Copies of this chain bind each other. A is one copy, B any other.
Amino acid sequence: MSRRHDTISFLTDYGTSDEFVGVVKAVIRDIAPHAAVIDLTHDIAPFDVRAGSLALARCISYVPEGIVLAVVDPGVGTDRRAIAVEVAGGAGILIGPDNGLLAPAVAMAGGAERAVEITNPEYRLIAPGATFDGRDVFGPAAAHLCNGVALTDLGPEVDPSLLMPATIPLPRNEGDDVIAEVLWVDRFGNCQLNIGPDDLPASWSDTVRLRLPDPVQPGATVIRSARRADRFAGIGHGIGVMLDSYGMYAVALDRRSAADDLHLAAGDQVVLADGGDDDDREGPVTTPVQFGR
C-alpha cells in the first residue's frame, strides 16, 4: 500500500445544473469516506481543454497535498487514455484524460515523476451504457488512491514524456512590440495575458500602448493607452496593465470590467508597446484604426 491521501481537488467542465459533479462526489464518498473534496471549479466551458488546463495551472500551487482530479474530456469514448501522474515525490497525483489538460499543472508541480494508464477493472465502476468516465473511472481511481491503493495498481506505467502536451500560446516579440494573447477573462472582467514580469522590457516607461481587436470592424485594431499599476486602485479612470494575483500581466480597469469595456475575450491578441510619454491620464482614448496586423 502507498500513502493514504485525504484531499481530492476537483475541476471539470460538468457545470452544476446537472447532477454530474454530485454523482462523482457521491461515488468518492462511498469508496473513501475520509476524503474531502475541494471543488476548484466546474464551470470550464464544455470541452474547452485549454481553459481547463489554464485554470488548473493557476490552482496547482495552492491545492493541498493529495489528489487532483480534472475532467474536461471531448474525447470520452475514444481511445484517448485515462492517466494518473505522480509529482513532487508522491505528495501529489493528478488524474484525468491524457489530452493535455493536466500538462501545465504537472509542469508547474515540478514535472511528472511516474505515470500510469488507468485500466485496472478492479478500480472502475461498470456503467449501464456509455461510460461516464468521471463517475466510473476517474472518480473511483482518485478515491482508491486516497485509500492507499498504489499508483501502479491502477494500470501499466507509461512514459511521462509520451503524455499529450498542452498547447499554451507563448508571447513573441516583433520589433519593439510584444505580441500577447488573452488567456482568461475572469468574473470581474480582468483579462489575463500570457506574459509575466520578465516579458516586458525593463526600459519601458509606465505607460503602455495596447493594440486591441476593433470591436466594430473585424480584422481591424484600435490603439489604447494604458498605465502600468501594481494594484487596481493605482489604475485610476483609465486602463491598467498590472501583474495580477497569479503573477501574470492583465488588462484591467478599477471596479469595472475590462472585457466589457474593451470587448476582449479569451484568445484575443493584445499587442503591447512602450507608451513613452503618452498621457493616459485623460482616460481611454481611441486612435486611428489600422487594418490587419
Does any Cβ of B come within 8 Å of A242's Cβ? yes
**In the complex with contacts A130-B242, A130-B243, A62-B30 CB distance below 8 A:** yes
Tell me the complex Cα distance, A25–B187, Å.
18
Q: Are A244 and B129 within 8 A (Cβ)?
A: yes
Q: Are B19 and A129 within 8 A (Cβ)?
A: no
Does any Cβ of B come within 8 Å of A123's Cβ? no
**In the complex with contacts A26-B9, A40-B26, A55-B135 CB distance below 8 A:** no
Our pick among B26, B59, B233 for the contact of A59 (Cβ within 8 Å) is B26
Q: Are B23 and A242 within 8 A (Cβ)?
A: no
Q: Are A186 and B245 within 8 A (Cβ)?
A: no
Separation in Å of the A188 CB from the closest CB of chain B? 6
Our pick among B16, B76, B197, B244 for the contact of A41 (Cβ within 8 Å) is B16
Q: Are B132 and A245 within 8 A (Cβ)?
A: yes
Does any Cβ of B come within 8 Å of A166's Cβ? no
Does any Cβ of B come within 8 Å of A219's Cβ? no
Give the residues in chain B near A130, CB-CB below 8 Å.
Answer: 230-232, 242-245
Give the residues in chain B near A11, CB-CB below 8 Å.
Answer: 19, 22
Does any Cβ of B come within 8 Å of A128's Cβ? yes
Tell me the complex Cα distance, A248–B132, Å.
13
Give the residues in chain B near A6, CB-CB below 8 Å.
Answer: 33
Q: Are A55 and B128 within 8 A (Cβ)?
A: no
Does any Cβ of B come within 8 Å of A278's Cβ? no
Listed stretches A42-50, A173-181, A266-274, A285-293; interface member: A42-50
Greatest chain B CB density within 10 A among A27, A59, A233, A243 is at A233
Q: Are B245 and A64 within 8 A (Cβ)?
A: no
**In the complex with contacts A136-B245, A243-B129, A26-B14 CB distance below 8 A:** no
Closest 8 CB pairs of A and B: A128-B247, A129-B243, A77-B231, A132-B245, A22-B40, A17-B43, A15-B187, A78-B233
Task: Given A19-B58, A25-B38, A78-B233, output 11 extra A-B contacts at Cβ < 8 Å.
Answer: A7-B29, A14-B187, A16-B43, A18-B186, A19-B59, A26-B62, A30-B64, A74-B255, A77-B232, A77-B233, A77-B234
